[in-house]
Amino acid sequence: MNEPTANESLWAGNQNKDTQKSINQDTKSQITLEFNDEIFDNKTSRDSAKNVVSKLNDSLSRPIHSDFPYEVFPEKIQAIIIDTYKNLQYPIDFTGPSFLVGASACIGNTCVVEVKKEFRQSATLYLALVGRPGVSKTHPLSFAMAPIEKYDDTTYAKYENEKIEYDKQQKLRSDEIQESDLLIKPAWQKIVVKDITPEALFSIHSFNQRGLILYVDELASWIKNFDRYNKGSEKEYWLGIWNGDRIVVERKTGDPIVIQQPFVSVAGTIQPEVLKEAMKQLKLGSGFFERVIFSWPKHAKKKPWNDQEISQSSIDSWLQVVSKLLSILQRRKGVKEVDPYVLFYEDRAKEMLLEWQAQNTVD
């Protein structure tokens, strides 16, 4: 059967009792249903058939209206995406990328993939969910980030306990104590950061070499801050972070900060009109926006609320995925340098990567 165009339905009239009929309302979501002559006879019009099948589609698990290839995810994650689509009305084109950037934050510097020798790529992602107000941009991202923020809550509780013990021990020690016996001051090893200056970001990163994610609901505020000190200075920082360039921060007060292998993903939402202004500010073609993944589903619309709920199993499943990724050991080379696991492409995967790169090469 030829692939139908996006947002069209294909009715292939019944030829015999056991013939399979297919409906495809989007190039990314094909549904196959079985009919027989007792349900449809030769007099059934195309429009009537489409109407019947449309009603049947409501009970099926495969969603429609998605350009994001959610089927590349493991089945467990596909099931969560379908559940949020059907019951919470989250657009798949927002939920799928949100899960990607959430996984990115959890993986951090633990793993890299080798494209070629001396060409290794981290899981760093800069993600922008683009849409008008009310099209459910914020909620899918919030859903993906929730268990990561909850993880930060547990590490903060641990930090608080360690800080209390540290302060207690400091008071008990005399001024004559040997330097070698000094306690190490605890630090909160958080993953999620929000509105923050570059110096504060790098300070936090120095305590968590695994990596961070800048999570902002409105990306416009992040972009506007690029010029808050020196024009365009912050943009250069973010270009370097995406590349994984070594960072050295000389401070007027305090020790310098050195991060050998930075990892900071970024995720947030932005409205189309605001995005246009941001592109004028940073100049399209400067290399910044080319590093951002934009998810902008043209079919996203405001939807009326319903009284359906997502299953608890879906919430638990995403928590399990996040927990498993966070359990990956961060290998190190000494105190300040990480040593990621190196992953390699299978032959077919490498072929697909090269095909994709060739198709997107600009002369």
The pLDDT score that the predictor gives to residue 231 is: 59
The pLDDT score that the predictor gives to residue 277 is: 86
What tens digit of pLDDT does each residue of 46-95 get? Answer: 455 445 444 444 444 445 668 899 998 999 999 999 999 999 999 999 99
0.85 exceeded by the pTM?
A: no
For CA atoms 239, 241, 243, 247, the dihedral sign is: positive
Cα–Cα distance for residue pair 289/242, rounded to 1 Å: 11
Low-confidence ranges of the chain (pLDDT < 70): 1-65, 173-182, 227-233, 284-285, 362-363
The pLDDT score that the predictor gives to residue 118 is: 85
What tens digit of pLDDT does each residue of 217-253 get? Answer: 889 888 888 866 665 568 888 999 999 999 888 877 7
Whether the CB-CB separation of 136 and 300 falls below 8 Å is answered with yes
User: Six-digit token pair at 279?
Assistant: 């592109």
Cα–Cα distance for residue pair 26/299, rounded to 1 Å: 11
For CA atoms 171, 177, 183, 185, the dihedral sign is: positive
Whether the CB-CB separation of 23 and 16 falls below 8 Å is answered with no
Residue 159: count of CB within 10 angstroms of its CB: 17
The pLDDT score that the predictor gives to residue 167 is: 87
CA 224 to chain centre: 22
Ranges of each domain in the chain: 1-60, 70-169+186-359
The pLDDT score that the predictor gives to residue 363 is: 57
CA 302 to chain centre: 23
The pLDDT score that the predictor gives to residue 16 is: 33
